[in-house]
């Protein structure tokens, strides 16, 4: 009788071969599964990631996404500040740090801003040229940390000491051209202070007392970008020697990628020390900051119009692809 060979050894051999192949298959499959480096929570994240600019298209952003703010429950027109803030996506502020730069000579603007534009920013950092408490906000005097050399041969900085004396005597300080010239010295220590207080933020959004954003538009833009990359975003204006910088009067944003290289390197001197001569000689602090970013990181400002624009709302240029030509702005 013819005896057929047993199939069990073949079966066992097949199992021994199949198991390693299956493991290799799973390992290979994992390389094809895209895990985004940066994404907001799935329930509010944009549905479609799009390029920063469409190739060959107009220089404006046109990606499709969803709003981060849910519809208002009570939309009968009798909304209170608490109603609006209850609808604000404050969980995004775990990753986004907003910094308001102002001065002691702008009390009315400060009160209005804190009651409207930044009223829902729960982690707001306020920097100024005078240390004070307004409402629940601590105004941090960032000029107080500057080295004494700033006052040397610098008549513009003398205003700071005159203001301190006026405050000590109970006198009020109003807006003045001297205060405007003093303002330029806040930019470098402002960036240092923001990183010192929130070193783990992913985005640093800088705003002034006469600037506002459409927050949902801004949050949607940042959702498209990787904060670990080098991003310096704002409204570009020409500066000295062919260099451009982000106009402070339109607000600007720095990614954590830029901030770590700009101020996170403990082996280098502070920005406000390293570029003190530039700050003393140049008229504008936003220009000095832009030059410092370019000098230390090699990063140039990225323009995103009209979200970052120095125009009044009525004078914004029409942008194709939007209902009324505007999708958001930071304007004075």
Tokens representing residue 96 in the block: 């986004």
- pLDDT for res 172: 75
Interacting residues of 192 by C-beta distance below 8 A, sequence separation 6+: 142, 263, 270, 271, 272
Considering the chain, what is the average pLDDT of its residues? 77
How far apart (Å, rounded) are the C-alpha atoms in residues 116 and 311?
Answer: 20
Whole-number Cα distances in Å, 173 to 104, 106, 158: 6, 9, 14
pLDDT in tens, 80-122: 777 778 888 889 999 999 999 999 888 889 999 999 999 999 9
The answer to which of 159-163, 215-219, 283-287, 319-323 has the lowest mean pLDDT is 319-323
Identify the CATH class of 80-311: alpha beta
How many residues comprise the chain? 332
pTM: 0.77
The sign of the dihedral angle between the CA atoms of 97, 101, 104, 110 is: negative
Every domain of the chain and the residues it spans: 80-311
pLDDT in tens, 19-78: 444 444 343 433 333 333 333 333 333 333 333 444 444 455 566 777 888 777 666 667
C-beta neighbour count of 77 within 10 angstroms: 5
């Amino acid at each position: 009788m013819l005896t057929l060979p047993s199939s069990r050894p073949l079966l066992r051999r097949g199992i021994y071969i199949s198991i390693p192949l299956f493991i290799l298959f799973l390992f290979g499959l994992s390389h094809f599964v895209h895990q985004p480096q940066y994404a907001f929570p799935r329930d509010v994240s944009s549905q479609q990631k799009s390029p920063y600019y469409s190739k060959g298209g107009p220089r404006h952003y046109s990606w499709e996404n969803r709003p981060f703010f849910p519809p208002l429950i009570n939309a009968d027109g009798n909304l209170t500040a608490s109603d609006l803030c209850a609808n604000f996506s404050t969980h995004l502020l775990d990753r986004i740090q907003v910094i308001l730069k102002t001065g002691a000579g702008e009390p009315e603007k400060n009160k209005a801003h804190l009651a409207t534009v930044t009223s829902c920013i729960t982690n707001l950092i306020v920097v100024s040229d005078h240390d004070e408490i307004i409402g629940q906000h601590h105004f941090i005097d960032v000029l107080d940390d500057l080295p004494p050399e700033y006052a040397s041969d610098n008549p513009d900085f003398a205003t700071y000491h005159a203001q301190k004396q006026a405050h000590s005597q109970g006198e009020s300080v109003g807006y003045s051209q001297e205060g405007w010239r003093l303002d330029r010295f806040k930019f470098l220590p402002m960036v240092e202070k923001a990183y010192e207080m929130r070193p783990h933020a992913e985005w640093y959004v800088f705003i002034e007392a006469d600037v506002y954003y459409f927050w949902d538009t801004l949050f949607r833009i940042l959702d498209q970008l990787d904060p670990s990359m080098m991003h310096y975003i704002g409204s570009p204006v020409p500066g000295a020697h062919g260099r451009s910088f982000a106009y402070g009067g339109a607000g600007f944003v720095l990614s954590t990628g830029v901030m770590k290289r700009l101020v996170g390197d403990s082996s280098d001197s502070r920005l406000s020390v390293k570029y003190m001569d530039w700050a003393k000689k140049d008229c504008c602090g936003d220009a000095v900051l832009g030059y410092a970013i370019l000098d230390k990181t090699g990063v140039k400002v990225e323009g995103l119009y009209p979200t970052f624009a120095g125009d009044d709302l009525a004078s914004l240029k029409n942008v194709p692809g939007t209902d009324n030509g505007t999708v958001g702005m930071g304007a004075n």
